[in-house]
Amino acid sequence: MAGARTTPTRTRPRSSSPAPRTEVVVPPDWSSAVSTVSSHPTPPVVVVCGPKNSGKSTFSRVLLNALLPRQATTTEHGKAGYLDTDVGQPEFGPPGCLSFNVVDEPIADLLNPTLQEAERCYFFGDISSKRDPEAYLNCLFHLYDYFVGKYRCDENEMLPLIVNTPGWVKGAGFDMLVEMLRYMCPTIVVQIRITMQSKNLPDGVFWLDGGQTGPKMIIIDAAFHDASNRSLLIQKDSGGMRERRLVEYLKQCFPSNISLSTNKELAHALASLPPYQVLFSDVTVVHLHCEVPAGEIWRSLNATIVGLAVSNASEGTRSVPYCVGLGIVRGVDVQKGLLYLITPVPLQQLQSVDLLQQGLIEIPTTLLQEASEAINSLSHSCRLVVERQKC
Straight-line distance from the first to the last Cα atom of the chain, in angstroms, rounded to the nearest whole number: 21
Contact (Cβ atoms closer than 8 angstroms) between residue 55 and residue 192: yes
Residue 185 pLDDT class (50, 70, 90 cuts): very high
Residue 119 has pLDDT above 90, yes or no: yes
pLDDT tens by residue, 349-389: 999 999 999 999 999 887 876 545 554 554 444 433 323 23
Residues 153-170: tens digit of each pLDDT: 876 678 999 999 998 899
Q: What's the rounded mean pLDDT across residues 48-59?
A: 92
Residue 51's alpha-carbon distances to 130, 233, 366, 372, in angstroms, are 16, 12, 29, 39
Largest CA distance in the chain: 72
pLDDT of 350 reads 93
Sign (positive/negative) of CA torsion 235, 239, 245, 247? Answer: negative
Query: Residue 366: its pLDDT value, please?
Result: 75
Percent of the chain with pLDDT over 90: 57
Categorize the per-residue pLDDT at 171 as very low, low, confident or very high, splitting at 50, 70 and 90.
very high
pLDDT of residue 318 exceeding 90, the answer is no
More reliable by pLDDT, 82 or 8: 82
H helices within 99-184, ranges in order? Answer: 133-151, 171-184
- Candidates 163, 149, 140, 136; CA nearest to 81 is 163
CB 80 within 8 A of CB 89: no
pTM confidence score: 0.86
Domains parsed from the chain with CATH numbers: 24-226 (3.40.50.300), 261-390 (2.40.30.330)
Which residues share a beta bridge with 226? 24
User: How far from 79 is each of 142, 151, 338, CA to CA, in Å?
Assistant: 21, 11, 42
